A = this chain, B = another copy of it.
Amino acid sequence: METPIESRYLIITGGVGGAKLALGLAHCLKPTEALFAVNTGDDFEHLGFAISPDLDTLIYTLADMNNKEVGWGRMDESWQFMDALEQLGGPTWFKLGDRDLALHTTRSRMLADGATLSEATAHICNSFGISHRVVPMSDDPVRTTVHTNDGELSFQHYFVRDRCQPQVTGFEFKGIEAAVPQPEILTCLENSRGVIICPSNPFVSVDPLLNLPGMRHALSQSPAPVVAVSPIVGGTAIKGPTAKMMRELNIPVTAEQVAHHYRGVIDGFILDEQDVSLHETLDVTTYVAQTVMVTLQDRVELGRTVLEFINSLKSKT
């Protein structure tokens, strides 16, 4: 007999920026209290491997195996494979560490053998001793494409190969019409204690999940308050190309615009102390906190703050 799953928090996250708060929340919540739903729009196939960058970042972060110096990939990594691949004329723009490669090989093999991405993710999490539940936003492929002045680019080509240099004109989530939200996410929402949108990129890390068929409806039907933490602080992005994208899309680079972006989805918004002046201007319940996370303590404290804020919001039903 399985233990019935209690009412959980749903934590929506992308890669590095979001994983910081996700880690803090994992320190605040028991494994039975949280479900981490991760963007897979960044996923791609490379050299025959099925690579899920955001899932990997969260997994390495929760396992305390992430490389804290460079901010991506696995700690204690070596690069013999890449070195030898270069000698063979292979592509070197996407760095695959020797140890990281074992994860991609394991996932690729499981998918080829018919497992779902959720099953592969669960196996990897178990192997690394992660007790919290981590799921992809969908088991179906969704591929974020970036429309730019240089033409259409797959997300990793834009993000890694071209270092976000091309000017963005829009986004497209290929395959999303046919993608089904990961079933546990929908089940969680039916009886959730709260939904947290981590400070990830709204356009490419959170929108793929929000735009899955039925997801906005499920969020609106859920009794759980939905809270987002602004990834924009003091007019810039803590991590990644969010601010650059907003400028190129002619959106003012403010936390306010992030709140507008999530209009209809969120019931509460967390601003950084640097943006306290916006507090009165937003048309959503707002909380001001120290959101810049440098230390683990910062992550845990913001996690606690977010949970306190969400619990202070009235249940929607």
Q: Give A residues with C-beta under 8 Å from B.
A: 47-48, 74, 77-78, 80-85, 87-90, 97-103, 105-106, 108-109, 112, 123-124, 127-128
Q: Which chain B residues border A112 with CB–CB below 8 Å?
A: 48
Find A98's partner among B84, B90, B103, B108 (CB 8 Å cutoff).
B84
The reply to whether A84 and B109 contact each other, CB–CB distance below 8 Å, is no
A48 touches B108 (CB 8 A): yes
Sample of 19 A–B contacts (CB below 8 Å): A47-B109, A48-B48, A48-B105, A48-B108, A48-B112, A80-B97, A81-B99, A81-B105, A83-B99, A84-B98, A84-B100, A84-B101, A84-B102, A85-B102, A87-B127, A89-B106, A89-B123, A90-B109, A98-B98
User: Considering residues A88, A108, A128, which has the most beta carbons from chain B within 10 angstroms of its beta carbon?
Assistant: A88
* Copies, count: 2
**Contact of A98 with B78 at beta-carbon distance under 8 Å, contacts A48-B105, A108-B48 already known:** yes
* Interchain CB contact under 8 A, A88 and B106: yes
Interfacial chain B residues near A109, Cβ < 8 Å: 47-48, 90
Minimal Cβ-Cβ distance residue in B for A82: B102
CB-CB under 8 A for A88 and B124, given A78-B78, A78-B98, A98-B98: yes
- Top 6 nearest A-B pairs (CB, nearest first) are A84-B102, A80-B98, A84-B99, A85-B102, A98-B98, A88-B106
